Amino acid sequence: MSTSPSRSLVSSPWFRRLATRRLAVRPLAAAFLPLMLAACALDGETPADPAKSLVMPSHWDATTTQGGAADGITQTAAISTEAAAWPTTEWWAGFNSAELTQLLAQARADNPDLGAAAARIAQAEAQAEISGASLWPSVQLGLGSTRSGTRNIKGSAAAGLASVPASDYASNVHQASLSASYEIDFWGKNRATRDSAQFSLDASRFDSETVALSLSSNVAATYFQILALRDRLTVARGNLENAQHVLSLIDARVQAGADSQLDLVQQKSTVATQRAAIPALEQQERAQLNALAILLGRAPEGFTVQAKGLADVQPPALGTGVPAELLTRRPDIRYAEAQLAAAGADITVARTQMLPSVTLSASTGVEAATLAHLVNAPTLLFSLGGDIAQSLFSGGKLEGQVRQAEGRHRELAEDYRKAALSALSDVEGAVYSIDRYQDQYTLQKDAVAQSQRAFELAEDRYKGGLTDLQTLLDTQRTLLSTQDTLAQVKLSRVQASVTLFKALGGGWQDDGNSFLSQAKAAR
């Protein structure tokens, strides 16, 4: 019977060799099949950049024309929108206070919060170094010596057997080995882990800049608060002297029978009240001095400042730039952005945990019975290998990690938007406050001048018997109130400038060397 052509082909030696090769390849193909299929798992939704979707206004409302002058004439806020008018990093120099500059230098050198922020940066740098190590092979050197053998124990009662003579035996083994392992970063997991740590390092640095900016503004605000309290103490002591002078006038008139004892007692009550107000202001001054000492990183005992008041402090002129510049000039916004970028890298890490990992390993070494043979006549040892690992079932752990990372990213995206919107509000509020306080300060100065004139006229008329005591006391109380209010308004005006400096980032700007800036430039 004849053999068909197909049967003769299958039974041929050539076909059997080809089939054997294909069957040998199948296990290898099956092993790499997860690698070829799992690439689709990285096709998840890419997190959107919130900076692109954030709509920034084109101008500041507070820098537009506003009314508010005493005579009804419309005025323009004295705030420039030129980018060149933004504050420098040493913005406090504009107040022309050498003492404030010295205090800020001491605070930046010794403040505990800044020291803690520097320590956090050091930790983040170490973590970035640790995370980046996974991109490189791991190489280990090993040296070891082992002595092993057997020794006969005669008359073993535990075994209940007669001792079996045997000679003692021992051997020495000395080894020197070099091994290396490397995980192939097919899916970018190790790169994403490194990127997350680098973004976190950026966040630590931006956070440190935010702490430094808050520290500078707090030192300036506390310093000005101390000077304002000293102004108020000067006003209170001056008015106490006025009240005592009026008391002497009333006492003279009572002695002459022109006034009653009731008038005298009323003025004594006024003097006592004004005298009692002074210790409260002194206590507030001491509390602010203590707070300033803590900001400088020193004990409050014996600490004081030399300036006597706000008389020589003049708020500097500055500009606001355009709103969009806040995204690069505010370290707290860059901190939120860096955290967001780290969360985006964490999503990649979580997704790649669901994919196969491929690790290559190799080792070589020498072995000998003696140390001399280890150098002169060793036995060579070596091994090469590879490993593919794929999670088949984790009870939803890996999927949950992905959802957790995605949820964290969405949360930080909202935090970023909130930081940007809060920055806009900070600038708008500070600019508006500067404009309003400037108007109020001008009006209040006029009120003080008029109150001073009214008190002087009332005093002269009272001496001549042309007006009653109540009118004199009313003008005296009004003068005290307007003078004290003027000191507080000037403080508010100066502190509004400090607030604006802080709202604008205090002159800080990312120099482009951060990992975040480089990643954005590469896109």
Long-range CB contacts for residues 399-408, cutoff 8 Å, separation at least 24:
399/354, 401/350, 401/353, 402/44, 402/347, 402/350, 402/351, 402/353, 402/354, 404/350, 405/343, 405/346, 405/347, 405/349, 405/350, 406/47, 406/347, 408/343, 408/346
Residue 69, pLDDT > 70, answer no
What is the pLDDT at residue 46? 62
100 contacts 226 by C-beta, under 8 angstroms: no
> What is the topology classification, in CATH, of domain 46-110+185-355+393-522?
Outer membrane efflux proteins (OEP) (1.20.1600)
Instruction: Report the C-alpha gap between 370 and 368 in whole angstroms.
Output: 6
Mean pLDDT of 352-362: 91
Per-domain boundaries in the chain? 46-110+185-355+393-522
CB atoms within 10 A of CB 103: 21
Residue 428 banded pLDDT, cuts 50, 70, 90: very high
With the CA atoms of 199, 203, 206 and 212 taken in that order, what torsion angle do they form, in degrees rounded to the nearest 10?
A: -150
Q: Is 352 exposed, middle or buried (0-12, 13-18, 19+ CB in 10 A)?
A: buried
214 contacts 137 by C-beta, under 8 angstroms: no
What is the pLDDT at residue 496? 93
pTM above 0.85, yes or no: no
78 contacts 438 by C-beta, under 8 angstroms: yes
Residue 19 banded pLDDT, cuts 50, 70, 90: very low
Mean pLDDT of 506-516: 86
What is the pLDDT at residue 154? 62
Give the range among 272-276, 369-373, 436-440 with minimum mean pLDDT.
369-373
pLDDT one-digit tens code per residue, 77-98: 445 555 445 678 888 888 989 9
Residue 482, pLDDT > 80, answer yes
Q: Which residues does residue 66 pair with via DSSP β-bridges, in sequence order?
A: 75
